[in-house]
Amino acid sequence: MVYLRAKKVKSDQYLYLVKSIWDSKKRTSKQEIIKYLGKANEVDKNDIPPEYRNDSKILSVLAKYHPEDIKKREEASEKSKQQLFKNFTQGNIENSLKIYEHYVKIFDSSVFFEKILRPVMYKIGDDWANGKISIATEHVASNVAQTLVKIIMDKVTGNANKKKILICVPQGEEHHLGCDVIETFLSVKGFKVFNMRTSLPTESLLNFIEYNKPDVMLLSITLEDNLSAGQRLVRKIREQYDIPILVGGYAMYSSKIPKFDAKVIRESTLNELPKLIRSG
């Protein structure tokens, strides 16, 4: 793991780019300095070696010492959200891809999914529910979003050296963009991901669990009407398998969530998801 470490000398802060290395003999981690960067308020992104330059955690530390950068980042994110919403609803995949490619030159993919794609899709869903856009426009936008995620996914090569993750939806759930976003993000992190995308008969899903032995299951529920179906699915799985189950999605913002025999995720970022998976 690479990160920035600050050292205070008198009244000034100085930054070092350091790497955490595991010492197998002492069974502890130690820090190795990659580069001394200089006085904190004078360090900028170009001082970071290219391979670490777009790391979101490193950029966030730099932003603490450059308050003006925080405003620029917020403005860039807001502009990207507006542009992506416009191109999704107009069915323009080419421009949508350009927005993504431009954004990840500054930030990483997980920030794009968290700060841009997810709020845009929530806005599209809310605008459709409130009659601000037609069902046809909602379908066009969803199709463009799914195509964009697939293109991003095709660019990703994961190490697949971590846990096996099963992502699925309950019966009746037709929204699977959240599953695709999570698949892409976890694949980048090296997980082996089985993404069902569309709802399957419960028996088929149970057979899949039996033969593929996933370590963790993620259940995504978008519509509040499908909460009960999700609850029944979790109950059926629990009758046969002792697999950790995480339940999340837009429906978790509902004020009336039934009790799940699983860990319910209401407020969590994509970057927190690997930790939740490891904790089971």
Q: What is the DSSP string of 86-120?
A: HHHHTT-HHHHHHHHHHHTTTS-HHHIIIIIIHHH
**Whole-angstrom distance, CA of residue 108 vs CA of residue 82:** 19
| Angular region, 211: left φ>0, alpha ψ -120 to 50, beta rest | alpha
| Top-confidence residue, 119 or 3 | 119
Q: Which residue in 268, 193, 184, 162 sits closest to 247, CA to CA?
A: 268
Q: Is the pLDDT assigned to residue 157 strictly greater than 60?
A: no
HSE-CB at 44 with a 13 A cutoff on CA atoms is: 4
Burial class (CB in 10 A: 0-12, 13-18, 19+), 71: exposed
Highest mean pLDDT among 115-124, 161-170, 231-240: 231-240
Chain center to CA of 100:
14
- Secondary structure class of 21 (helix, strand, coil): strand
With a CB cutoff of 8 Å and minimum separation 6, the contacts of 19 are 1, 2, 31, 32, 34
Judged against a pLDDT cut of 60, whether residue 135 lies above it is answered with yes
Task: Tell me what pLDDT residue 64 has.
Answer: 72
Read off the pLDDT band of 235 (50, 70, 90): very high
d(CA 252, CA 237): 20
Give the mean model confidence (pLDDT) for residues 210-223: 92
List Cα–Cα distances, 145 to 76, 101, 110, 204, in angstroms: 20, 14, 15, 28
Supply the pLDDT for residue 70. 62
Domains (range + CATH), the chain: 2-65 (no CATH), 69-155 (1.10.1240.10), 164-279 (3.40.50.280)
Q: What is the pLDDT of residue 239?
A: 93
Task: Give the Å distances, CA to CA, from 76 to 79, 81, 99, 103.
Answer: 5, 9, 11, 8
Statement: residue 83 has pLDDT above 90: yes
Q: How many other C-beta atoms can be found within 10 angstroms of the C-beta atom of residue 49?
A: 10
* pLDDT above 70 coverage of the chain, percent: 94
**Mean pLDDT value across residues 83-99:** 93
Torsion, Cα of 86, 73, 272, 87 (10° steps): 10
Q: Within a 10 A sphere around the Cβ of 66, how many other Cβ atoms?
A: 16
The tokens describing 11, both together, are 């009244």
18-58 tens-digit pLDDT: 888 876 777 677 788 888 888 887 887 778 888 887 777 78
